[in-house]
Homo-oligomer: A and B are copies of this chain.
Amino acid sequence: MNKSTIGHALTAHAKTVGDIDLADIARFDRFHVAEDGMLLDYSRHWIDEEIWQLLSQYADAADLSGARALLFAGGLVNKSEGRAALHPATRGSPGGDTSQQEIIRKQQTHMAQTIEDWHGRGICQVLHIGIGGSHLGPSLVVDALAKPEMAKRCRFLTSHDAAQRARLVDDLDLKTTAVVIVSKSFTTGETIENARLVRELYQHQNLDPSSYFYAVTAVPEKAQEWGIDQGHILSILPEIGGRYSLWSSVGITAAWAIGVKAFEQLRAGARAMDQHFLSRPWDQNMPVIMALLGIWYRNFLDQRAHIIAPYHDGLRLLPPFLQQLEMESNGKRVDQFGELLNHKTVPVLLGLPGTDCQHAFFQALHQGTDVIGVDFILTKTSTRALQAHGLAQGQALMVGHKDPDPERTCPGHRPSTTLVLDDLSPHHLGRLLALYEHKTFVQGVIWGVNSFDQMGVELGKRIARDLLERLEGADQLRTDDTHDRLDGSTAGLLRYLRKPSLS
């Protein structure tokens, strides 16, 4: 069957999902996968055998196997930028040619040596300057795996915000701090500006920045030009997208905080998930299962939001990490040939650690007017109380509650996924993050988008340069502020921002 025939069949099935008995005792055995200390329970979803088969065929109709092979062969999956996506290779999985794999090995060695140098030099803190993909992955890993006393020694400076700089930089002892500037292009506005300001702090204390500053970039010559010592420049391949880069030298701050050995285990965990994704049939393949469920709800049941609820303090940055991973990768409206899509792509993602989310916005999941799916992520090593709450939310959403008082009634029949990790070890965290990477890839393939570019963010950057000139320029309104280049709102806001404050 082709994609459109299967789509029609799925549309027909979508009308009957209310009849599926999610609580059926036999469903768990059919709809779960357990492997290598990780369980994926997808039995609480609006699927039955027939729907599941159709979804699998939908993946086949999009040639998922072919796309997967292309990814792991280092093929041209990022067409708009004319590039492969080599993040699997950064953790030792297939992808790229031998020379690229050799470069990756050298980069890993360079990273490990740099960390050893830091130990030898008495580096006690790392100031990591980067934003977006240069920040979210490493800071998630630090939060998840570093001991609290090491996590406190990692500072992540991201934005053009003086308040953030004051909070993160003012109390640092600069002479025991390594400064790592992470920017693939080495032109990211926020990052280079923050680097410049921190360099001034070093200079004011008569410390030689070249001894403390490091760069992680795909354009080493730019870093050198900026003043970073050649030996302090850790390179990454241009084929590594920011949001897929934590496994590369971009992860240096995390590798320092958790130790190079643990960082290797993290990479090995991701590698294990690569193997899983490469080798398992669709209905035992965790990323494929999660991706297909997402497609089902998004494209056939019109759901537009998805919740990430990790029941582990160490995963509190997982929701923003996945917001970037999924929404930047698949927040697209044209296919790889530039044709406008006639279906919806990525939903919005949001989340908070459980049980915080239960006391925050879960009310809307239980009794709101939209059905919103949830990924519950539990670990076997958590307290029983935390596990009980995680389990209970999924059960409550599913079974609901009838009450004489309609205000106490919960409709139930609301779907969720439960992932259980043996523990939050480097290995399992690596698997978990790679699981979502591949889920994102599979959805990109089915939606037909390029998951590896982010053309939509360029426009705002360009406009910001123009507006900054206008804000910094004359104190008076520039004559062309009312020119046809400027809309009424922007002109009005510029005028207002230039006026002195009341208070």
A366, B459: Cβ atoms closer than 8 Å: yes
A391 touches B490 (CB 8 A): yes
Number of interface residues of A (CB under 8 A): 155
Q: Is the CB of B364 within 8 A of A489?
A: no
Interface contact B407-A487, CB-CB below 8 Å: no
Bound-state CA distance A454–B353 (Å) is 19
Question: What 0/1 readout, one digit per residue, does chain A (4-45) give for beta carbons within 8 Å of chain B?
Answer: 000000000000000000111111110010101101010110
Can you list, as one digit per residue, whether each of A222-239 has a CB less than 8 Å from chain B (1) or not (0)?
000000000000000000
User: Is B161 a contact of A312 with CB atoms below 8 Å?
Assistant: yes
Instruction: Given A450-B407, A467-B388, answer yes or no on A344-B356 (Cβ-Cβ < 8 Å).
Output: no
* CB proximity of A380 to chain B, nearest CB, Å: 5
**Measured between C-beta atoms, what is the minimum distance from A409 to chain B in Å?**
8
Q: Is the CB of B25 within 8 A of A464?
A: no
Residue of B nearest to A344 (CB): B369
**A474 CB–B CB distance under 8 Å:** no
Roughly how many angstroms separate A71 CA and B418 CA in the complex, as a whole number?
41
Contact B320 A383, beta carbon cutoff 8 Å:
no
- A496 and B328 form a contact (CB under 8 A): no
Chain B residues with CB under 8 Å of A398's CB are 487, 489
- Chain B hits for A388, CB < 8 A: 464-465, 467-468, 471
Residues of B close to A149: CB separation below 8 A: 171
* Binary interface encoding of chain A residues 321-341 relative to chain B, with 1 for a CB under 8 A from any of its CBs, else 0: 001100110111110001111
| A496 cross-chain contacts in B, Cβ below 8 A | 34, 39, 420
In the complex, how many angstroms separate the beta carbon of A357 from the nearest chain B beta carbon? 9
| A28: contacting residue among B37, B328, B489, CB under 8 A | B489
Contact indicator per residue, chain A 398-412, by CB within 8 Å of chain B (1) or not (0) = 111100011111110
Interchain CB contact (< 8 A) of A161 among B133, B382, B393? B382
The residue on B at minimum CB distance from A149 is B171
Contacting B at CB under 8 A, from A104-144, are: 131-133, 135-136
- The stretch that binds B, out of A210-218, A421-429, A436-444, is A421-429
Interface string of A161-197 (1 = CB under 8 A from B): 1111011001100000000000000000110010000
Across-interface contacts of A400 in B (CB, < 8 A): 459
Verify B43–A407 contact, CB threshold 8 A.
no
B-side contacts of A338, CB under 8 Å:
405-407
CA distance A490 to B313 in the complex (A): 23
Q: Out of B382, B425, B460, name the residue touching A396 (CB < 8 Å).
A: B460
5 more A-B residue pairs beyond the given contacts A193-B385, A391-B490, A395-B463, with a C-beta to C-beta distance below 8 A: A163-B313, A164-B313, A190-B355, A398-B487, A422-B503
The 5 A-B residue pairs with the shortest CB-CB distance, nearest first, are A331-B364, A132-B359, A28-B492, A366-B456, A23-B487
The contact sample of 27 A-B pairs, CB cut-off 8 A, is A23-B487, A24-B488, A28-B493, A29-B488, A37-B502, A41-B489, A159-B354, A163-B312, A304-B305, A304-B370, A323-B352, A328-B360, A331-B367, A332-B407, A345-B369, A346-B368, A348-B350, A348-B361, A358-B457, A366-B456, A367-B455, A380-B497, A391-B497, A392-B460, A395-B490, A410-B456, A418-B493
